[in-house]
Amino acid sequence: MVLALVGTAAAQQPQNNPPKLTENPAASLPTPAPRATNTNVRFVGTAHFSEKIFREAIAEQITSIDEQGLSPALADDAAFFLGIFYRKNGYSQVEVKWRIDGPRQLTLIVSEGPLTLLGVVDFHGTAGEPVATLRDYIVGSTRERFPRTKTALPFVKSDVDTGVERIRGLYRSEGFLDAVVDDPEFSFTRDMRRADVLVTVHEGTRYRFGKLDFTGDVVFFGPNGVSGDLMAQVEPFTKKPYTPQQVINMQRAVVYYYKTHGYFNAKVDVVSDPTTAKDGVVPVTFYVDSGSIYRFDGVSQEGLDRLNPRFLPTRFAKLHNKFYNPQVLDEKFRELMRTGLFRQLRIEPRPLPDNTIELHMSVEEAKAKELGFSAGYGTFEGPIIGFSAGDRDLFGMGRPLTSTIEISQQFMRGEILYQDPWFLESDYALRARLYGLTASFDGYSKLETGGRLELSRKFLKQFEASVFLLSRRVNITDEGIDPQEIGSSSYHINSLGTSLTFDTRDNPINPGRGFVFNTSDDLAANVFGSSIDFIRGTARFSYYLPIKKTLLAFGVRGGIIYPLSGDRFGIPIDERFFNGGSRSVRSFAERELGPRDRHGLPIGGETFSTLNVEYDFPIWGDLIGAVFFDAGSVGRNPSSFGEMRYGIGGGLRYRSPVGPLRIDYGVNPTPKDHEDAGALHISFGVAF
Q: What is the pLDDT of residues 340-383, one digit of tens each?
A: 999 999 999 999 999 999 999 999 999 999 999 999 999 999 99
Non-local CB neighbours of 213 within 8 Å, separated by 6+ positions: 283, 284, 285, 286
pLDDT over 50 at 8, yes or no: no
pLDDT digits (tens, 9 = 90+) for 245-282: 999 999 999 999 999 999 999 999 999 999 999 999 99
Least confidently predicted of 21-30, 260-269, 296-305: 21-30
Non-local CB neighbours of 321 within 8 Å, separated by 6+ positions: 295, 296, 297
Sheet of 342-351, strands arranged across: 295-302, 356-365, 342-351
pLDDT of residue 354: 95
- Output the pTM of the full model: 0.75
pLDDT of residue 513: 96
pLDDT of residue 75: 94
pLDDT of residue 335: 93
- Cα 252 to Cα 662: distance, rounded to the nearest angstrom: 44
Least confidently predicted of 14-23, 151-160, 386-395, 661-670: 14-23
CATH class of 3-111: alpha beta
> Torsion over CA of 545, 585, 633 and 570, rounded to 10 degrees?
120
Q: Specify the higher pLDDT residue, 497 or 51.
A: 497
Non-local CB neighbours of 636 within 8 Å, separated by 6+ positions: 595, 605, 606, 642
Between CA 475 and CA 480, with CA 476 as vertex, the angle to 5 degrees is 165
Average pLDDT over residues 405-409: 96
CATH class of 453-684: mainly beta
Question: 295-365 maps to which CATH number?
Answer: 3.10.20.310
What is the share, in percent, of the chain residues with pLDDT greater than 90?
86
In terms of CATH, what superfamily is 117-202?
membrane protein fhac (3.10.20.310)
pLDDT digits (tens, 9 = 90+) for 503-533: 999 999 999 999 999 999 999 999 999 999 9
- Cα 160 to Cα 134: distance, rounded to the nearest angstrom: 11
295-365 and 453-684: identical CATH topology: no
Nearest Cα to 449, choosing from 434, 470, 463, 461?
Answer: 434
pLDDT over 80 at 661, yes or no: yes
- Cα 429 to Cα 438: distance, rounded to the nearest angstrom: 29
- Cα 36 to Cα 318: distance, rounded to the nearest angstrom: 67
User: Where are the domains positioned within the chain?
Assistant: 3-111, 117-202, 208-289, 295-365, 453-684
Q: Which overall architecture, per CATH, does domain 208-289 show?
A: Roll (3.10)
DSSP state of 316: T
Q: Provide the CB-side half-sphere exposure for 332 (13 A, CA).
A: 20
Nearest Cα to 288, choosing from 246, 311, 258?
Answer: 258
Paired strand residues for 540: 518, 557
Nearest Cα to 238, choosing from 272, 263, 268?
Answer: 272
Sheet of 281-289, strands arranged across: 208-216, 281-289, 267-271
Amino acid at 35: R
